[in-house]
Amino acid sequence: MKYWLMKSEPAAFGIDDLAARPRRTAEWDGVRNFQARNMLRDDFRKGDRAFFYHSGCAVPGIAGVVEVVREGYPDDTALDPKHADPRWFAVDVRLLRKLERVITLQELRSHATGALRDLAILRRGNRLSITPLSKKEWDFILSLA
């Protein structure tokens, strides 16, 4: 099983929007970055876990845990008829757990020289909307909840 962190702006799609969906399941689409695309297309597996991260908001941080329930498939929001091969990919995720409180970026950052020293979103200038985590990082962050 692999572990991921997926960013979304709650004003566009937040954890409560996912909770309101039938079967608490939604397509994770709209990713328009080649690195992130490659991970969605090639590396995401059914059963993988991901943190749902709220970005671009008053309190950025991890809001919940989701499970990958459908592996990479062409993103219908970006089908380009000129290309035989789809350019962008989506996955489906299901909400497993909304955290009682958001684990804030500030709190994550307080461990930036310790257990989370290699966490991708803490690296300067990182804007990638999908990043992998190690199991150690995953377990440590969950222990903060």
Which residues sit at the interface with DNA, rule CB under 7 A?
7, 9, 32-34, 55-57, 60, 105-106, 109, 121, 124-129
Q: Please, which residue, 69 or 107, has the CB nearer to DNA?
A: 107
- Whose Cβ is closer to DNA: residue 83's or residue 124's? 124
In whole angstroms, give the CA distance from residue 63 to residue 24: 15
Residue with smaller CB distance to DNA, 32 or 135: 32
- Give least dist CB 73 to DNA, A: 21
Token output for 81: 């008829």
> Based on the number of CB atoms within 10 Å of its own CB, is 114 exposed (0-12), middle (13-18) or buried (19 or more)?
exposed
**Min CB(84)–DNA separation in Å:** 19
Maximal C-alpha separation, the chain: 48
CB of 124 to DNA, least distance (A): 6
Give the angle 93-124-13 at the CA atoms, nearest 5°: 30
- Least separation in angstroms between CB 116 and DNA: 14
